[in-house]
Amino acid sequence: MIRLWCKLLTLKEILNRRRADRRRGEGNPYAALADRRMGRDRRNGFRSLGFSLLCFGLAAPASAQIYSWTDGNGRLVLSDRPQPGSPARSYTVPRAENVRATRYVSSSRVNVYDDVILEHAKLNNVRPDLVRAVIQVESAFNPYARSPKGALGLMQLMPATARALGVANPFNAVENVRGGVVYLRRLLDRYGNNEQLALAAYNAGPGAVDKYGETVPPYRETQNYVSRIKQIAGPAAVSVPMTKIYKITEIVDGRESVTYTDKAPSAAR
């Protein structure tokens, strides 16, 4: 943009000089020669302007995967190629959804909030790993995170949602986690404990999920969001209902007969 502005100024200066030379050259036999030179300068100025516009047009944002690691000397390395033999996890760069970069969160920062996560996850019957993953993707465990859209705190509550959940201070970690987990529980209840749909609604809103027939909306951001959280949280434990088996012993024709059933005998009811 600066280069384009400079070229525009240069073109304006050329035109102004030409007008001045014309005024000075009236009656001057060399005026025609000056005009021809100025014409060449003007054409050159237009060529420079065209080239600048071409460069400006080519300077569009591009999608990229950025990898980072620390080398043997303790220096931070950024590259568009992953380090050989090292798996890389990536997260969205704020304000640049098409750009990906690794974002490390130290275990000490995570552990600071583990007690409050466990407390409210247990109170609302939500997997603690799911809550941790939501916080990781939403704010990287930064209690003062603020998104460009206005979401606040660890679990990135929108102001209206925070008020509805009774969260007076979204930057208070305890209040934010309490409200965020309650909201996540409501979404799980709404979608039959389907974590994918609940996460999609957490990101894009329940209206978007309902609009597409209670499926994950076809938004790249939402689909990536659900995928990242599921990858971090891991699969939910499959709960197999326990069937109670009763042993019934009867005497038939003077002999003991044992049978097993899942229906409680009348005496046990």
Report, as residue numbers or ranges, the catalytic residues.
138
Q: What's the gap between Cα 101 and its chain centre?
A: 11
CA angle at 82 for the pair 77 and 88, rounded to the nearest 5°:
95
* Dist CA 258 CA 251 (whole Å): 9
* Dist CA 2 CA 112 (whole Å): 46
The total number of residues written for the chain in this structure: 269
188 phi-psi bin (left φ>0, alpha ψ -120 to 50, beta other): alpha
**Amino acid occupying residue 257:** S
Nearest 5°: phi and psi at 220?
-60, -45
* Dist CA 242 CA 244 (whole Å): 6
The pair of three-digit structure tokens given for residue 124, joined into one six-digit string: 């609302």
Determine the longest span between alpha carbons in the chain, in angstroms. 142
The pair of three-digit structure tokens given for residue 211, joined into one six-digit string: 């609009």
Nearest to 204 by CA among 192, 191, 216, 190: 216
